[in-house]
Structure formats: structure tokens, C-alpha cells
Structure 1
Amino acid sequence: MDASSSFSITQEELNLFHQIDRRLYTILVMNLWRDPVESIQVMALWLWLERVGFYDVVHRMLALPYALVNELADEAVTCLNIISNNNDQHAASSSSEANEIPLTQNFMRKDISIPFFHEHRLLATQGISRVMNEVCIRALSDIMQEAVRRNAAQKTADSQTMMPNPLQQSVFLPQLVVGQHEIWGSPEPRMVPPGVPPEDRTMFVTFSKGYPVTESEVREFFTRSHGDCIESFHMQEVHQPQDQALFAKIVFKSAASIDKILNGMSKVKFAINGKHVWARKFVPKSPRPNLPTPTPMPMQVPIQFGTQFPFGF
């Protein structure tokens, strides 16, 4: 979407025009609790991709599960790091890992890879900065301001909750709040009894476009290497027979199994029957309680690519 116009429009009209963009940004910062400044850069990247021919990115992303949106945002951050890195040797090394953004490759309707961002780094820097100024600052800054205030209030509340009370003998634990939206079904109660909760024993795997992988193939691969280690397996649901699952969530019986599989790496790549599979530890980002909004202090938030803007824009 392009907010540029030869006539003046109100802020309300601008927000209405960019309501789809605002919905996706809200999911990133309010539902997934992602960093508001980083997320506004992610939005600028996705909107720039729409301008250069990757059509309908934001609209289609709204139909995805929150977990998948979160993973796509992580891959977008990887792309932003490539774009902003001026070290040619590091960029060249990174560009050799053309499959570091498998979900993005699967999601986009045109070919895209890490080398694409390295080769078009200058064009991307200029284009993303322009989108930041024309769209993101004007149409998303109020949501960003709200998220920053909410996060600051939550941080204060967390510190107060965890502070021991000398007048009481009991231990204060953070309250578990079930939000309206859940990433992976209903959350498990965080009980004190021994045992590692499922979210700490879960791995997120993604599959390569054009090479569909079945649940039985993945199960066999891990059980052959690590024994009877899988507690549950959740493959992405597909609605058409010809559609390919893009990811799966695997809950292991022991967190040690994930440590052995990752072997100290944040992400590893396997070949299962000649098909590439990427694995990483699943990091859930659950909704938190709504908190009173404190009075904001005047500040500036630096934006990558040299853009700065104050709250109250």
C-alpha cells in the first residue's frame, strides 16, 4: 500500500487506508509481544517487498497462525541484518546460506533468498527507508507507542511481583493469565511440581518448498537417531490435497533430546530422504494481561537505516 497522495487526508483516513497493515503490526507487538521498534522495521521490509513485486504479502499473512507469523518475522529480522551489514565478507558468507529463510521462501509467490537481499542491499535500504517515512511512521506510530508503554508497565509489574515481601513467608510467583488468543492451543498450567513443561520441550521444524515431508518421515528420522523421544507431533493443517505443510511442532519427552539435536546451535538443517528440514527450539510468545497505561515520557526511538521519530507524531 502507498500512502502518498497529492491531497491532504486526516489521520483517521490514513489509518483506515492502512487498516490491514495496522492489524498485522498489532499482532506482532500486542499479541506476540515482539519488540515494537524491530517490528516496525519488519513491517517496512514486508511492505517494500510488496512494492517490488511480491504481491499481497500483508493480507495473506493475516490468515496465518500466530506461530507462523512469528517465525516469518524472525526470518525478516535475518534479512534486515543482511541488508544493514556493510561487511562484504560477512555478507558473502551469509549469502552462501541461501536457505536460511525457508518459511519466507515457501510463503512468497516468487523466488527469494538471502543472496537477493545481499545483491540488492542499497536498493532495499533506500526502499525500506522510504516506506518507513511514507507509511510506517505515519500509520503505525500510535500502535508502537501503545506497545512501548504496555511493555514498560509489564516490566515494572514483573519486577514488583517478583520482589519478596519481608512480611510474608510465601513465595510470590507471576500470575498465569490465559489470553484470548493462543499460539498453540491451550497453555499448560505452570505448576511447581517437578517436570519440564511442554513449551520447554518443543521444537519448531520447517520444510523446503516443493519437497513435501510427511509426519512419518520426520518421526522416523528422529526416533532412528534418538530412540523413542517424541511425545506429540503437530503438523500444520492444509486445506487442499495439493497444498504442502510448511512447518510442524514436535513435543519431545525430554528437553535433553532437543539439546542433542541442536548441538549448541540455534538452528540446524537436516536432509530427510533428500528433503531439507530446518529445526530450532520453539519459543512461545503468549499474551500477557492488560495493564494500566502510564504517562509516556518524551523520547525518540532510533530506526535502522537512519530514521528517527518522536512519540506523538
Structure 2
Amino acid sequence: MDSSSPFFTSQEDFLLFHKMDRDLYRILVINLSRDPSESIHMLSMWLWLEKVGFRNIIKKIMSLPIILINEVADESLICLTCVNNLIAVSSSFSEANDIPLLQSLMDKEISLKFFDENRVEAKEGMSRIGQEICLRAFSDIMQQAMMRNAAERMVENNNFWFGSIAAPSQRLGAAVGNNIGVGAGVQVQQQGRVVVVVPADDRTLFVTFSKGYRVEEWEVREFFTMAYGDCIEALFMQEVAGNEQALFARIVFHKVNTIDMILRGASKVKFSINGKHVWARKFVPKRGNASTGETSTSASAFGSGFGM
């Protein structure tokens, strides 16, 4: 069956054919709470890449842990930004360093330069796939995600108001020196001195490893300890079975400024640990909902250019 010609099948058969695509879209918008419209653009890009010769991308992404699916989605957003001509692509980019996780899933080279050089073809192909396949395949899931996002926003707004009402009693407790919590991440000691406790998530670095280049936990610990001293509070490598390779890890540091020293203002940095490439960025536990609040899933909601 030609997936670019979906109108010759019943809706039931069409959804069955795109079951894996639907499962991946559901992970993006339900499990990871990513923006529904933005996620449709990602699926359009991945399906277009499959059409132009990059094989089994959806299947390979689905085989990843959910935290790495989120990372692949972040890299894909950079590619979409490039396709939309919103960023300049430096000629000094190597073929694999700009989008390392996507590259690890491909059976041939891919980089931002590829998207820059094929911008017109990519925009046209993604727009067509988005209109003819993704809208038809994902509209029910998109509707569900938008309704869920709207409900969560209502709950957050209610919690805000109830929190404002409760605040005076919390401040009263602090004034008399009780050991109670005052807001998130604040602890009051007996003497009345307020100590701000930085949550572990805010002191956590997320690192990913190149597929095929196994990095051990002791190597990660040794690298950061030699560079920044006794800085690691906890290190969590991905749990894998047997001789499988861990593809990511989370490092919790004693101090949040250690992460600032590591990143030096960049969103992502690359290290070489014993000759093996490691990418690091600040850990984000869960993306916030970015729904526009619209419930329409008609083609007109995306515009004639499918938002490209």
C-alpha cells in the first residue's frame, strides 16, 4: 500500500495501517505532554524521511526509552526550524554532531545541512503528508490531548487561587518558628531562619551516549570528578539488560552552579570521555502543556501550508 495515497481505504483499515504512527503520536502528546500540532509536524517529517530513503524511522524511535523519544523530538524541532528557514546552518557543522540522536537512528548520514539543502522538497513533502496522512490518522488523539490540556489548565488555575488563600497561615507558622514548609523548595528551621532547598531536578544534568560506544558509570563519575571535584550527589544510568548499552544517564550534582559551569550558557554541550562522545544538557523532568486551547482538528486549523 502507498501511504501517500490513503483515500482508497476505509478509515478502519487506514488507522490499522498507521497503528505504529498513532502509538508514537500518542506517546508524544499524552505521555510526554508535547504540543499536539507541533507533534503532527514531527510525524510528518519522520514519515517524509522514510519516503525519501531513511528506513524504519518510526519503528526505531518506538524502540527507544520514552525519555530518549523526548530527546529525539527536541532534535526534530531543530530540524523543523531549519526547514522553515528560521536558523542559519553553519558550513562548519559536521555530519553527525548537530543532531546526534537522530543520526544514531539512521542507516546513512543526516544533519541540519541535509534539511537546509532540501528545504523546498521537505516543506512540500511534509505539508502533503501532514494533510493527507497525519490529520486523518491522528485527529482523534489530537482532540483527546487538547481536551486533557484544557482540563489540566483549569486545575492549575484553581490550585493557584487555593494556594493564595492558604499562604497567610503558612506565613504565620513561619513567624513562630515551626518546622513547616512554606511553598515549594523552602524549609523553615527552629530558629526561624529560612533555608532555600534547590530541588534535585534543578541540579540534574541529562547526558546521552553515542550508540555503539559503550560508556560505563565509572567513566562518567571519573570524568566529572576530575574536572569539577567531589560534585556528584547521585548518578542514574539507564537500566539495561545483559550486555546492552546504556544510552543515557542522569547526574544529580550537590550544587546547581556546577551545571552552570558545565554548560557555560549553552543549551547542550559535547564531551569526549575516553574517546567516546557524550552530549549533556539540563534535565527537564516533563514538558509543560502547550496547547492553544483549540478543539478543532479540521484541515483549516493548520492553514494551507500546514504550518510550515
CA separation of 1:205/1:259 partners in 2, compared to 1, >3 Å: closer, same or farther? same
Deviation digits for residues 121-158 of structure 1 (CA, Å, limit 9, x no counterpart): 22222221121122101111221122122212212221
1:202-241 map, 5 Å = 202-239=204-241, 241=243
The structural deviation recorded for 1:95 is 4.5
Aligned to 2:270: 269
Deviation digits for residues 105-128 of structure 1 (CA, Å, limit 9, x no counterpart): 122233222222222222222221
Match 1:140 to one of 138, 143, 151: 138
After superposing the two structures, state which structure 1 stretch, 123-132 or 37-46, moved more: 123-132
1:51-70 map, 5 Å = 51-70=51-70
Long gaps (5+) in structure 2: 171-183, 188-195
Aligned to 2:190: none
The one-letter code sitting in structure 2 at the alignment partner of 1:139 is A
Aligned to 1:73: 73
TM-score by length of 1: 0.78
Higher RCO (C-alpha 8 Å, min separation 6): 1
Taking the aligned partners of 1:121 and 1:297, their CA distance within structure 2 comes to 29
Aligned to 1:196: 198
Are 2:142 and 2:297, in contact at CA under 8 Å, matched by a contact in 1?
no
TM-score by length of 2: 0.79
Long gaps (5+) in structure 1: 172-189, 289-293, 309-313
Are 2:210 and 2:247, in contact at CA under 8 Å, matched by a contact in 1?
yes
The one-letter code sitting in structure 1 at the alignment partner of 2:36 is P
Q: How many residues align structurally? A: 281
The structural deviation recorded for 1:63 is 2.6
1:44-193 map, 5 Å = 44-85=44-85, 90-92=88-90, 95=93, 98-164=96-162, 169-170=168-169, 193=187
The structural deviation recorded for 1:286 is 7.3
Percent of aligned pairs with the same amino acid: 52
The one-letter code sitting in structure 1 at the alignment partner of 2:268 is K
CA separation of 1:238/1:50 partners in 2, compared to 1, >3 Å: closer, same or farther? farther
Are 2:146 and 2:295, in contact at CA under 8 Å, matched by a contact in 1?
no
The one-letter code sitting in structure 2 at the alignment partner of 1:236 is Q
Aligned to 1:248: 249
The structural deviation recorded for 1:8 is 3.9
SS of 1:42 mapped into structure 2: helix
Aligned to 2:30: 30
CA separation of 1:166/1:21 partners in 2, compared to 1, >3 Å: closer, same or farther? closer
Aligned to 1:259: 260
Taking the aligned partners of 1:141 and 1:7, their CA distance within structure 2 comes to 16
SS of 1:109 mapped into structure 2: coil
SS of 1:91 mapped into structure 2: coil
The structural deviation recorded for 1:301 is 3.5
State the structure with more CA Rg: 2
SS of 1:45 mapped into structure 2: helix
Taking the aligned partners of 1:116 and 1:167, their CA distance within structure 2 comes to 54
The one-letter code sitting in structure 1 at the alignment partner of 2:248 is F
Deviation digits for residues 60-111 of structure 1 (CA, Å, limit 9, x no counterpart): 3223211010000000111111111167xx2235856851211111222332
Aligned to 1:282: 283
User: Is it true that 1:41 corresponds to 2:38 in the alignment?
Assistant: no
Are 2:48 and 2:129, in contact at CA under 8 Å, matched by a contact in 1?
yes
Are 1:199 and 1:283, in contact at CA under 8 Å, matched by a contact in 2?
yes
The one-letter code sitting in structure 2 at the alignment partner of 1:268 is V
The one-letter code sitting in structure 2 at the alignment partner of 1:251 is V
